[in-house]
Amino acid sequence: MSLLLYLTPLALAFVLDLLIGDPYFLPHPIRLIGKGIEKGEGFLRKAFPDTQRGQLAAGTVLGIGIPILSFAISFLILFFAYRLNLWLGIGLETVMCYQILAVKSLKTESMKVYEELKQGSLAGARQKVSMIVGRDTEHLSEEQVAKAAIETVAENTSDGTVAPLLFMAVGGAPLGFLYKGINTLDSMVGYKNEVYLFFGRFSAKLDDAANFIPARVSAFLMIGASALLGMDFRNAWRIFRRDRFNHASPNSAQTEAVCAGALDIQLAGDAYYFGKLYPKKTIGDRLRAIRYEDIASANRLLYGTAALCLLVSLTLRAAIYLMIGVYI
């Protein structure tokens, strides 16, 4: 396989994601991973004792099993596809890589909030933002709704774009699916509440580990994107250095800090979850009030960061090809 063909699935997948996104009517493998997590959780909770140690053990089995299965199934499909026909393999891997990325869908969902706020529908904006955040949204002000949407775009620039691209650059679609297995587990069971405090602990820690490098790469790429887009990149760098650990997660504040600095706004702060107030540190300086237009600016940062990451990922994948001659 030539270098050009080796890079084709990742490059084409990126273009497909920007053009098509994730149409609701198409089946999506991430939904299958989610179903697997639901079924696995139900089975393992019955199979292990309902104690702290039992929940930890059950959650660990699930946290190891789902990523391995996600990797193995996609690897075997591609292994046989490439053996049957090179173009079949390239086509299938392109589709797989495309389904792993979530650039356009993140923009689409966050811009629904933008449109509701633009039309003056706070109730509609609250409903739309509730679809992309975990916090309680029924009493949020217009500024708080916009802030929640911006935070989601900033955080998921890493989770939905940069991290998958980097994993796929190293190991193709199978490693990308391994990452999505880890990330989906965290989004479903990685909560620090009564239900998942012990069961979801392993998944949460594994997600922190998997995103440690991508989150930091995302932050630096976002600073670069802010400079190219004419945003306040100096403030982005300053806030990143100061506030990048102002979050319970070691990774989430990395890109949120850059975004807050680039837009000259303040993110994070206290929020309600399931009716309970959780105190949180703020990220950035409140140099001005957040406006709904800032959601569009955050998406410009998302796209700029994604484009830079594609270049980095293709370069990394080409280097791997040239150094060790990987053939699928």
Cα 101 to Cα 10, 15, 29, 46, 125: the distances in Å are 10, 10, 12, 34, 25
The helix (run of H) or strand (run of E) holding residue 278 is strand 276-278
pLDDT recorded at residue 236? 98
pTM value surpassing 0.85: yes
List the structure tokens of 129: 């933002």
Q: Please, what is the average pLDDT of the chain?
A: 94
Report how far residue 226's alpha carbon sits from residue 232's, in angstroms, rounded to the nearest whole number. 7
The helix (run of H) or strand (run of E) holding residue 268 is strand 267-268
Please report the DSSP string for 159-171 in residue order: IIIIHHHHHHHHH
The helix (run of H) or strand (run of E) holding residue 267 is strand 267-268
List the structure tokens of 301: 């940062």
List the structure tokens of 148: 């929640």
Q: What is the pLDDT of residues 285-325, one digit of tens each?
A: 999 999 999 999 999 999 999 999 999 999 999 999 998 86
Q: What is the mean pLDDT of each run of 10 residues along the chain (328 residues)?
A: 93 96 83 95 94 96 97 98 97 97 95 96 95 89 96 95 98 97 94 88 96 98 98 97 92 95 94 84 94 97 98 96 70
Q: Which long-range contacts (CB under 8 A, 24 or more apart) does 27-33 make?
A: 28/99, 29/74, 29/96, 29/99, 29/177, 29/180, 30/99, 30/100, 30/180, 30/184, 33/66, 33/70, 33/177, 33/180, 33/181, 33/184
pLDDT recorded at residue 23? 83
Q: How many domains does the chain have?
A: 1
pLDDT recorded at residue 328? 44
Q: What is the pLDDT of residues 237-293, one digit of tens each?
A: 999 999 999 988 899 899 999 999 999 999 998 888 878 888 899 999 999 999 999
**% of the chain beyond a pLDDT of 70:** 99
Q: If we measure between CA atoms, which residue out of 172, 181, 235 comes closest to residue 207?
A: 181
Q: Is 22 helix (H, G, I), strand (E, B) or coil?
A: coil
- Find the domain containing 202 and state its range: 3-324
